[in-house]
Structure 1
Amino acid sequence: MNLKYFDAHLHWFINSAFADRLAENIGDRSSGEYYIDTYCKDGTLVGGIIMGNGDIHQQGINIPDNFYYCLGLDLKERVAQIDDYFDCIEEHLMREKCVGIKIYPGYIPIYPNSGYYDSIYKLLVRYNKVLSVHTGMLASLSGKLKYAHPLHLDDIAIDYPSLRIVMCHFGNPFLSEAAAVLERNKNVYVDLSGLIEGPFDAQKFMIEEKNYIELLKTWIQYIGDNQRFMFGTDWPAVKCDIYTEFISELFPENDIENILINNALNIYNIKGD
């Protein structure tokens, strides 16, 4: 199955043992060059959004055509002194390639609705950029899950009704709470990255994990608006082409092109290079 897709949630780590382990687990190598060489070669990957990690001064450098980034605030020492980096953050948002900011509650022990990030949310509204929020399960045992519950996004959505908010990973495994937040807040959207991690066969997985699949479909149908869901892989957590097969099984055939490409372009207000 050769489906064209726009990867709205991927990571290009630099010198990360964690990313190297993830990539090795699926038979890939953890680098932006490898990602482009592997997944763009047959024309199915049409672009993507890099979720930033590490030093904010180094993010967004040498982004290829049709790729964009969310400035990632994932370092505790940076987040602890966020006001000191406000000017730098604003400079990123002035760039066309920067389509938003990604925060990492759970990995960072700060509730996203605590008021701590209010200056950042106001800045995003001013520049008409997107807030992406990690929700749900954590890859690290050192993080604290309570901070990453999707219910916290309800407060932000209500307090900032003109702010577009992306709930990364559909709040998995808190799917019912995630769906409740989405149902009542039309400015909240979902990327479907990170629902599986590691090597897998899409068709075999659909059979063996049919209860999980039905649960996902139930809450997707509950939302009743497939324009609010978009494809993302969380690479290097999974092989991108195989993940398209899995996500495509969750939606009607006539919605697949929107899920895999168009919705992300609309939600992140991407006009193209």
Structure 2
Amino acid sequence: MRQLSAFGLLLGLSACASMGRNPAPLAVIDAHTHADFDGKPEAASGILFTREQYLQEMGKAGVVGAVAHTDEYEKGYADLREHGVVHCAGIRDAVDAARLEAGLRSGRYACVKIYLGYVYRYAHDPIYDPVYRLAETYDVPVVFHTGDTYEARGKLKYADPLTIDEVAVDHPKVNFVLAHCGNPWIQSAAEVAYKNPNVYLDSSALLIGRLNELPRETVDEYLVRPLAWVFGYLENPSKLMFGSDWPLSDMASSIEAVKRAIPKQHWRAVFHDNAADVFKIKPSKGPLRN
């Protein structure tokens, strides 16, 4: 943490940097959404899990691109590439390398998601070696679920963000993203990303639900302050990406909450540029149409 004081000074200048300016509306890339639409309301948020609702929220929140996770290779895949959305191929307890390669080669998928904790394997399990080789070959990132699981059957030891350090060291040419900042182990996740140049974090699901309907002190305690600490510890504004985990949370109130954790001069990096670089997203042009 040798550069902490210098970076901390930069964080403190945010209010002054934008005084007297009228900046353009913030264009956002949501680095963590789900698009295996089932047409039902999501229990945590009440959001209708449909393609129409997804595109509507993107438009209202100024989201010009996104990363969409699909649970399995084919389950609920919705081709949203014309809207600046790239898709992650979901990997659980088996790897069909030929099928994955075909999807990466065709552009159907632009990243891979491994559901640690939901699957009882560590990231360094040899079964995933073909995934990392393909990720390097096609220059796509690998996203890991890290931290708390959304179901009681998940086994947390497999989702500990510290376990990603070994994979990051062994595969230095692959970029890895730790979803959810490893929450509640945000300090471990921050250290893994700080130490390894090929590891990034997304801010999704530190809280779920419609965040604007939660008490402000709750959002501050469990999202704003923890995320501000993570951002400061990283000492590198390119390491953190905004994610809502839609439909677990709505996009607009998630954006507003995360803004409170990030100095304004770094909003463009966290809300747009970092995801565009890591996932090679080409944002949609103009307003979205359903």
Secondary structure (helix, strand or coil) at the match of 1:243 reads helix
TM-score of the superposition, structure 1-length normalised?
Answer: 0.87
Which of these residues, 68, 77, 98, is aligned with residue 50 of structure 1? 68
Aligned to 1:9: 32
Aligned to 2:172: 161
Give the C-alpha shift of residue 24 in structure 1. Answer: 4.8
Aligned to 1:31: 50
Aligned to 1:63: 80
Find the aligned partners of 1:250 and 1:70 in 2 and give their Cα distance: 27
Note the 1:73-88 alignment, pairs <5 A: 73-74=91-92, 76=93, 79=94, 82=95, 85-88=96-99
Give the C-alpha shift of residue 73 in structure 1. Answer: 1.3
Percentage identity across aligned positions?
A: 28
Aligned to 1:253: 264
Contact 1:136 1:145 in 2 (8 A): yes
More RCO (CA 8 Å, sep 6+): 2
Task: List runs of 5+ in structure 1 lacking aligned partners.
Answer: none
Which of these residues, 196, 209, 219, is aligned with residue 198 of structure 1? 209
| AA in 2 matched with 1:53 | D
Find the aligned partners of 2:43 and 2:230 in 1 and give their Cα distance: 33
Which of these residues, 116, 125, 131, is aligned with residue 127 of structure 2? 116
Contact 2:33 2:246 in 1 (8 A): yes
Find the aligned partners of 2:172 and 2:81 in 1 and give their Cα distance: 32
Deviates more, 1:213-222 or 1:112-121: 213-222
Closer/same/farther in 2, CA of residues 24 and 145 from structure 1, 3 Å limit: closer
Closer/same/farther in 2, CA of residues 120 and 25 from structure 1, 3 Å limit: closer
1:125 aligns with 2:136: yes
Deviates more, 1:216-225 or 1:233-242: 216-225
> 1:16-55: per-residue Cα shift (whole Å, max 9, x none)?
8xxx45x25423201122211x21344712121111113x
Runs of 4+ in 1 over 4 A off after TM superposition: 58-61
Give the aligned length. 258
Secondary structure (helix, strand or coil) at the match of 2:148 reads coil
1:217 aligns with 2:235: no
TM-score of the superposition, structure 2-length normalised?
Answer: 0.82
Task: List runs of 5+ in structure 2 lacking aligned partners.
Answer: 1-24, 285-290
| AA in 2 matched with 1:187 | N
Deviates more, 1:85-94 or 1:215-224: 215-224
Secondary structure (helix, strand or coil) at the match of 1:220 reads helix
Secondary structure (helix, strand or coil) at the match of 2:113 reads strand
Contact 1:9 1:233 in 2 (8 A): yes
Deviates more, 1:253-262 or 1:160-169: 253-262
